[in-house]
Chain A
Amino acid sequence: MIDAPSVGLLSLFLASILTSNVLLANFLGTCSFISISKDFKSSMGLGVAVTLVIGITAAVCWAVLYFIIQPLGIEYLSFIIFIIVIAGVVQMLEMIIDRFSPALYLALGIFLPLITVNCAVLGVILFMQIRKYSFPQAVIFGFGSGAGWWLAIMLLASIRKKLDSNNAIPAGLKGTGITLITIGFMAMAFVGFSGMIAVQ
């Protein structure tokens, strides 16, 4: 039914974490990345939530794409449909987590509903559509991209913790300024992985 690229699942997983990291290679989901990375614990919560949501919505949206959107030939509506599906899935996840793991629910707190408007989620799903992944590839790519986002925010949170205790930063660069520069360096460092596995 689809003409999936011939890429192994393990290399796809590693590629989505490292070489084509959704945050550092594609710069998606940067708003929450910058605002939440101030705090290590919140970064952890948001990282878990993003990974879960991207993984699950990638699977659901794959099914919606190939069983509803394509047969009906309404690709021009795929953005709207994907956003509706993401919102619905996030809402369901919130209720399920609230019921079965109140501790995780409290840890995720306000972040879970906010993920609905995180562009990393929509971005990953659109890549999945453009690159014509098969179902297992879509799921692996979803979880891998989530994990990549999680890894990046944890790295940045740790770096910012160190930066906070550094008084040598000029006043004008403190906060968001130095964070943006740091993200630039991190992105350059991640470019170093790009020779390893190429998936585009």
Chain B
Amino acid sequence: MSPILVGPLTVAGISAVLALIIAVLDKALNNYGDVEISINGGERKLEVKGGSPLLSTLAAENIFVPSACGGRGTCGACKCKVISDVGPHLPTELPFMSPDEIAHNVRLSCQVKVRKNIEIELPRELFSIKKYKTHVEKIRDVTHDIKEVLFALDSGEIDFVSGQYVQLVVPPYGDIKESTQRAYSMSSKPSDKKHVELLIRLVPGGIATTWVHKFLKEGDAVELVGPFGEFRVHDTPAAMICVAGGSGMAPFKSIFYNLYETSAFPEKDIWYFFGARTSKDMFYLEELRELQAKWPRFHLVAALSEPSPEENWAGDTGLITDVLDRYLQTVIPKNDKGWEGYLCGSPGMINACINVMKKNGITEDKIYYDKFA
């Protein structure tokens, strides 16, 4: 054999042998037999194969603990109380835990391995979360980097509250070898139980957004898991101060059209601040203006931060936080009903808006948001 080939082949051979031994060891050692997961004091009992993380074990049994990152231990959403002793908290869990949660043995279910019979507690709503088989009915470009994707449920109906989100199951594609899940707020109305609409902005390098923008076609089969989330309209007379940027439009579209359709919470005034950089990032403007014209308690404030002169932008200009500040100080009437903050957008935008709102007297417990980091 050529001496040039001997080296690389030996290295490859050694790596292959080691990989084989590791794979065999994994099969032999990671076999914990059948174990039982007891949920909420024996309310539900599951017989499962041990050896996998709690999150994926539960998902295989159709119990979907919310997880925005899909089990990588980076979002901290899949918290669950474990009653049995499964060892101390791992370094990967600690950043997401408050001292109180550590004391009560709240764990990240993606980091806890099921090795023996364990007892856990889960909120009862989770049992109503399902995996839906859907197909893509329509994809529409609403801006140069945001797509509006309409999914039609193949069977059954989805019950959700405006503001909640679903997780889109991204199958392996291209160089991505593992299926992942990402969370997106639903922009469709809850009254349409046969469809789910999502607004998805292309994030350069993003696994899910690249898949949606470059690979997904009308007619494709897609799985959705949900609904999740506590973001929703609160039942008080306080005026809603809603702020969104980019695809943060999604939950508000659902909320506004649902409120308009059902005339729910008639005492609430609604102020909607939508910020974009230039008019090519602005969308749904016509529809929202139409809604404003026929619905007196809805006030739309669309602002561009960098309008170019040739755009002839007639609306507000400036960063959405500055516009918000100006309106809170001079335009929006202050009365006994008070204000509530509703935010959806990038973590940076949310943090900046929280500061403006706090400065204008909205306390932090009245500011609601979902942060998808």
Among A43-51, A102-110, A134-142, A164-172, the stretch that binds chain B is A102-110
B7 pairs with A76, CB closer than 8 A: yes
Q: Which of A84, A88, A92, A110 contacts B11 (CB 8 A)?
A: A84
Once the chains are docked, how many angstroms separate the CA of A7 from the CA of B68?
A: 60
Check: B22 CB closer than 8 A to any chain A CB. Answer: yes
B20 CB, nearest partner CB in chain A, Å? 10
Q: Which A residues between 92 and 138 are near B, CB-CB below 8 angstroms?
A: 92, 95-96, 98-99, 102, 106, 109-110
For A107, the closest partner residue in chain B by CB is: B88
A81 in complex: contacting residue of B3, B14, B19, CB < 8 Å: B14
Complex CA distance for A69 and B115, rounded to whole angstroms: 40
Partner of A72, one of B10, B18, B25, B29: B10
Q: Contacts A99-B29, A109-B90, A110-B91: A77 and B18 contacting too (C-beta < 8 A)?
A: no
Task: List B residues 193-222 near A (Cβ within 8 Å).
Answer: none
A25: Cβ under 8 A from any B Cβ = no
Is B21 close to A, CB under 8 A?
A: yes
Tell me, yes or no, whether B15 is within 8 Å of chain A by CB.
yes
CB-contacts of B17-67 with A (<8 A):
18-19, 21-22, 25-26, 29-30
| Residue numbers in B under 8 Å from A155 (CB-CB) | none
**In the complex, B361 has a CB within 8 A of chain A:** no
* CB pair A88 B22 closer than 8 Å: yes
B87 touches A85 (CB 8 A): no
Per the bound structure, the CA–CA distance linking A74 and B1 in Å amounts to: 14
Q: Which residues of B contact A95 (CB under 8 A)?
A: 22, 25-26, 29-30
CB-CB < 8 A to A102: which residues of B?
Answer: 87, 115
Complex-state Cα separation, A74 to B3, whole angstroms: 9
A-B contact number at CB 8 A = 52
Q: Is the CB of A77 within 8 A of B87?
A: no
Q: Are B6 and A106 within 8 A (Cβ)?
A: no
One of B14, B26, B88 near A84 (C-beta < 8 A)? B14
**In whole Å, how far is B4's beta carbon from the nearest beta carbon of chain A?**
11
Smallest beta-carbon distance A38→chain B, Å: 15
Q: Are B7 and A74 in contact (CB under 8 A)?
A: yes
Determine how close the nearest CB of chain A comes to the CB of B50; give it in whole angstroms: 11
Nearest-neighbour CB distance to chain A for B3, whole angstroms, equals 8
| Distance (whole angstroms) from the CB of A69 to the closest CB of chain B | 8
> Contact between B10 and A92 (Cβ–Cβ < 8 Å)?
no
Return A78 CB to nearest CB of chain B, in Å: 10
CA distance A71 to B238 in the complex (A): 82
A80 interfacial by beta-carbon distance below 8 Å: yes
CA gap between A92 and B30 in the complex, in Å: 12
B21 near A81 with CB under 8 A, answer: no
B residues less than 8 Å from A74 (CB atoms): 6-7, 10
Within the complex, the shortest CB–CB distance from B19 to chain A, in Å, comes to 8
Also in contact, A77 and B10, with CB within 8 A (given A99-B29, A106-B88): yes
How many angstroms between the C-alpha atoms of A95 and B91 in the bound complex? 18
Q: For B32, give the chain A residue with the smallest CB separation.
A: A99
Does B22 contact A64, Cβ atoms closer than 8 Å? no
Of the candidates A73, A84, A110, the one having the most CB atoms from chain B within 10 angstroms of its own CB is A84
Give every chain B residue within 8 A of A69 (Cβ-Cβ).
10
Q: Given the complex, which residues of B lie within 8 Å of A64, measured CB to CB?
A: 14
Q: Do the beta carbons of B91 and A109 come within 8 Å of each other?
A: yes
Question: Which B residues between 114 and 173 are near A, CB-CB below 8 angstroms?
Answer: 115
State whether the Cβ of A68 lies closer than 8 Å to any Cβ in chain B. yes
User: In the complex, A99 Cα to B27 Cα: how many Å?
Assistant: 12
Q: Knowing A95-B26, A106-B87, A109-B91 are in contact, say whether A84-B18 is a contact too (CB < 8 A).
A: yes
Which A residues are in CB contact (< 8 Å) with B11? Answer: 77, 80-81, 84
- Ranked 5 nearest A-B pairs via Cβ: A88-B18, A99-B29, A74-B7, A77-B7, A95-B29
Q: List 21 A-B contacts (CB under 8 A).
A: A68-B14, A72-B10, A77-B10, A80-B11, A81-B14, A84-B11, A84-B14, A84-B18, A85-B14, A87-B18, A88-B19, A92-B21, A92-B22, A95-B29, A95-B30, A96-B29, A98-B29, A102-B87, A106-B87, A106-B88, A110-B91
A: residues with CB less than 8 A from B are: 64, 68-69, 72-74, 76-77, 80-81, 84-85, 87-88, 91-92, 95-96, 98-99, 102, 106, 109-110
In the complex, given contacts A95-B30, A96-B29, A99-B29, what are 15 additional A-B residue pairs having Cβ atoms less than 8 angstroms apart? A64-B14, A68-B10, A72-B6, A72-B10, A74-B7, A81-B10, A84-B14, A84-B18, A87-B18, A92-B21, A95-B29, A106-B87, A106-B88, A109-B90, A109-B91
